Amino acid sequence: MSRLNAKFYTMALTAGHGGGKSIMAPLGSAGDGNIYLPAECSGRSPTEVFLCASYDGEPVVVPDGKHAFYRSAWLKALFPVRCV
């Protein structure tokens, strides 16, 4: 199993085109060129996202030992309605 070197940030994200509500959301940036988002961005339960990732062989990053992060491209492909 390889170790992924990623940096995690908390960023202010705004819904819509500048006029929407702003929220603080964690995201990760890795040396492999991927952006990593928490499971909650999919609109599904973290357990469901974890099981889907395990089935697909998708890497799961757990930087703090508690919260799992997934590749944004994979989340968007699997849950296109919520992950934009």
Q: For the chain, give every domain's residue range.
A: 6-78
Q: Which of 66-70, 74-78, 79-83 has the lowest mean pLDDT?
A: 79-83
Residue 8: Cβ within 10 Å count: 16
Contact between 60 and 69 under an 8 Å Cβ cutoff? The reply is yes
Q: Please name which of 67, 84, 55 lies closest in space to residue 8, comparing C-alpha atoms.
A: 67
Global pTM value: 0.68
Which of the four pLDDT bands, split at 50, 70 and 90, describes residue 2? Answer: very low
The Cα 6–Cα 39 span in angstroms is 17
> How far apart (Å, rounded) are the C-alpha atoms in residues 67 and 60?
10
Q: How confident is the model at residue 67 (pLDDT cuts 50, 70, 90)?
A: confident
Say how far apart CA 17 and CA 66 lie, in whole Å.
Answer: 32
The helix/strand/coil state of 31 is coil
Nearest by Cα to 11 from 31, 30, 28:
28
Q: Say what the pLDDT of residue 50 is.
A: 92
